[in-house]
Homo-oligomer: A and B are copies of this chain.
Amino acid sequence: MTTPAAASAPGRRIPVAVLGATGAVGQTFVRLLEGHPWFELAAVAASDRSAGKPYAEAAHWLGGEMPARVAAMPVVPCDPSCIDAPLVFSALDAAAATEVEAAFARAGLFVLSNARAYRLEADVPLLIPEVNPDHLALLDHQRARRGWTGAIITNSNCSTMVAALALAPLHQAFGVAKVFVTTLQAVSGAGYPGVPSLDILGNVIPYIGGGEEEKIETETRKLLGSLGEDGVVPAAMTVSAQVTRVPVEHGHTVCLAVGLTRSADADAAVAVYEGWRGAIASLRLPSAPVPPITVTRDVDRPQPRRDADAGRGMRITIGRVRRDPILDLRLVALGHNTIRGAAGASVLNAELLVARGLLGA
């Protein structure tokens, strides 16, 4: 996972910045970028309230030890004029993202966004490198239409990421027509301070605000859709989602029941998973897990505590693949929500941009 092909690695580390760097996802960006072989964290940006303070003071650090270099960096405002880098990662919330991300794209920067603001725009790629790297072709359209010299590339909602990665190999092999998705989501998906402990200790909340279920139902179809004349044609599948929040720190568990276009049994599905390498295996991107998906045969796996960190939090683990008495297949998928489902997804998207030579001369 750490042996980038000589062909794609940039000559020297590319300076990057994180927007919304003090929040939970922003911190995950910081952690993933410190020591990244291709990128160098050059600036941490956040709201005006934090700007000017050293990062150590502005951020309530949630991990173990804050990287010393970053601790001393001054927080800058989320303004393109304050940031000297060709690429920014956005951990902004949806409200701020609409304007700020556009400002950066207009100013000529690539914005790798974890926010939902642009995910469903017709000319904005909602990208999983292993699944739909061809959707990057939308960038020409986006720039032409909006008059931007930069661009916005988005990654999906965290639970959608786990579901879509689990569905992609089946969709490619058999066609997915119907999916029931029931999630058990970790509290880190709600950011910080996020879920009050009085609401979740020893409890389950069968709801997540902000349209979580709708995101799963629509984003999955775009991710698995195909490029048409006017953007992405959503995959012709129906998705039904029920989300829940559970007292787990990291790792979203996603239970799936899947109806296929061409019927297949559990053995065939497992064989497909075990052979699947995704669309970009040959690029050997630094953050791309090899393989992207593992199938476990242990009857009681995957589990967040034991499997969320697989492939440094970038690999999806699938288990309990079996026949479904109503549709075709049942299975359980698990992925790390703040890494594969958020910051790590954007970093991987950025690596694809670099490998494709899209990032400047």
Contacts and interface: CB of A to CB of B under 8 A. Distances in A.
B249 A246 contact: no
Interface string A69-104: 000000000000000000000000000000000000
A204 interface: yes
Given A198-B193, A244-B255, A63 B306 contact: yes
A242 B198 contact: no
A64 B205 contact: no
A226 interface: no
Interface string A303-341: 111110110000000011000111100101000000000
* Nearest 8 A/B pairs, CB to CB: A193-B196, A203-B305, A182-B182, A207-B300, A206-B332, A197-B197, A187-B197, A202-B202
A175 interface: no
Interface string A188-225: 10001111111111111111000000000100000000
B197 A305 contact: no
Interface string A229-244: 0000000001110101
Interface in A163-194: 178, 180, 182, 184, 187-188, 192-194
A154 interface: no
B240 A255 contact: no
> How many of these chains are in the complex?
4
A199 B197 CA distance: 8
A239 B306 contact: no
Given A242-B257, A310-B64, A326-B180, A304 B204 contact: yes
Contact of A206 (B63, B319, B325, B326): B319
Contacts of A36: none
Given A188-B198, A197-B200, A207 B320 contact: yes
Interface string A252-276: 0101010000000000000000000
